[in-house]
Amino acid sequence: MPTSSTSLDLAGRALLITGASSGLGAHLSRAAATRGAAVALAARRTDRMRDLVDAIADQGGKAVAVAMDVADEASITAGFDAAEAAIGPITSVLANAGLNIPGPALDLTAADYDSIMSVNLRGVFLTAREGARRMITNGSKDKGDGRIVLVGSVGSHRVLPGLMAYSTSKAGVLMMGKSLAREWANRGINVNVVMPGWIKTELNSEWLESPAGQRLIDSFPRKRVMAPEDLEAVTFYLLSDACRAITGGGFELDDGQSI
């Protein structure tokens, strides 16, 4: 199991992470707090994040849970308001919330397709836009301290069978990140996209251990899945002060799964 051995410093950063109630969002929230960030954990239900907030506090970190539904523009605004009231002006955003409804394209309903796009594409845009607006208001143009990272997927650039809508949305996230980076480059905001491969979490562990999941793993060059820790170094670098001259990038963090 990989360890968190890098020493990227997030001290002084006020970081908002969407989709923070479980999986990668929960892991990265805890890890960011250990690196000095004040973290706003954003998800639809704050009750699912109480234990995580307490755990971060017990380790000497600072975190707050805020209600946010990324499919609802008003909810995003209210969530940022609550976050900034608790931890100060947001300087870093990790747009991590996502939705997947697997199945053949012929069986995918219009409602399910719209749901995926509402969260994975529209929600990512609304989250990034709200973060950028606040960064600009708080002087990012002069300070150059705005950091936004969008979470794509190996599906951003590779066909994932049975995941047409999900892959389409994640391909859009990659181009969105590049477009926003270009538009906000002179506003002191860096926008980048990380594209994780298959990572074992509590949400998919049972399937990955099934015969079908094992066949997928056997198709990878290294015949393994990743751990959440594998995302930390690059993701936190892109959210930190150190990432001064990197914007518009798409970073494949997939352990070679896409080659």
pLDDT digits (tens), the chain, 259 positions: 344 444 579 999 999 999 999 999 999 999 999 999 999 999 998 998 999 999 999 999 999 999 999 999 999 999 999 999 999 999 999 999 999 998 999 999 999 999 999 999 999 999 999 999 999 999 999 999 999 999 999 989 988 888 999 999 999 999 999 999 999 999 999 999 999 999 987 767 887 898 988 999 999 999 999 999 999 999 999 999 999 999 999 999 999 999 8
Closest CA to 198 of 169, 158, 238, 234: 158
Q: Please report, for the chain, the start and end positions of each structural domain, with discontinuous segments joined by +.
A: 14-253
Of 80, 166, 236, 237, the active-site residue reads: 166
pLDDT at 53: 97
Amino acid at 73: E
Q: Which two tokens stand for residue 123?
A: 């929600």
Cα 19 to Cα 4, 66, 74, 89, 186, distances in angstroms: 21, 11, 17, 20, 29
- Alpha carbon 23 to its chain centroid, in Å, reads 11
Give strand pairing partners of 64.
Answer: 40
pLDDT at 69: 97
Domain 14-253 class, CATH top level: alpha beta
Phi, psi of 252 (to 5 degrees): -85, 105
Active site residue 166: yes
Q: Which two tokens stand for residue 126?
A: 């609304």
Under DSSP, the state recorded for 231 is: G
Q: Which two tokens stand for residue 250?
A: 């798409």
Give strand pairing partners of 250.
Answer: 193
pLDDT at 203: 66
Distance CA 212, CA 257 (A): 16
Burial class (CB in 10 A: 0-12, 13-18, 19+), 247: buried
Closest CA to 128 of 65, 190, 41: 190
